[in-house]
Amino acid sequence: MTLPPDPQPETLPPETAAPGAPRDPAGIAPLEHALRLAEALVFASDRPVAPERLQAVLPEGLRAEAVLTLLAARYAGRGVELTEVAGGYAFRTAADLAPVLTRVVETPRRLPRVAMEALAIIAYHQPVTRPEIEEIRGTSLSQATLELLLEQALIAPRGRKEVPGRPTLWATTPRFLEQFGLRGLTDLPRREELLAGEAGPTLPDMAPPA
């Protein structure tokens, strides 16, 4: 009886190694260790992990971007997938499973309609002042609505506009991108989609980032 050959260790793609880094003669690097480090860091982090954060803990000679890409490939098709969001990477439930899970997982709290309207205006017109938000909405905006968006860490002040009174300029935050599953502002959906009722994204209770 012929025994099957031993499984070959996963080889390191050339693009994974940093330019000029020393290479193992057999073409094998501590890739598994790097993948485990990336997996642990993403799992433990309270925000998407940027490649720069991972790079600080990787073995010398490995590129964080390539390691994260390989990790994402490993999780592709699983119940939890590694997704690029808000300038980093985070684990997210597979999109095709979300409708099933909503039956057994508590539905997160949604923002009130007025807060979603204000948030959409800020997202598409940022940086924008409160009077400008009110002009676009066609109605006044309460301080309570602004405070709610601030508490959820979805918006933040971005200086003041150089006009009489120097009103505060408002813009969205990385937490906004993370919560709506966006890699960047260029991925914003149409405003109508952002404001869609039951089909729209939900915003769970969450504390502002430290």
Q: Vertex 8, ends 5 and 10: CA angle to 5°?
A: 165
pLDDT, mean of residues 109-127: 87
Question: pLDDT grade, residue 13 (50/70/90)?
Answer: low
Percent of the chain with pLDDT over 70: 72
Q: Give the residue, 206 or 18, on which the prediction is more confident.
A: 18
Q: What is the pLDDT of residue 105?
A: 55
On average, the pLDDT of the chain sits at: 76
Average pLDDT over residues 70-81: 89
Stretch 13-28: mean pLDDT: 47
Cβ(170)–Cβ(157) below 8 Å: yes
Within 13 Å of residue 54, how many CA atoms lie on the same side as its CB?
32
Residue 171 — very low, low, confident or very high, per pLDDT cuts 50/70/90? Answer: very high
To the nearest 5 percent, what fractions of the chain are helix, strand and coil?
A: 40, 15, 45
Would you call the peptide bond into 30 cis, given omega within 30 degrees of 0 as the criterion?
A: no
Confidence category of residue 195, pLDDT binned at 50, 70, 90? low
- Angle between helices 64-75 and 31-44 in degrees, nearest 10: 80
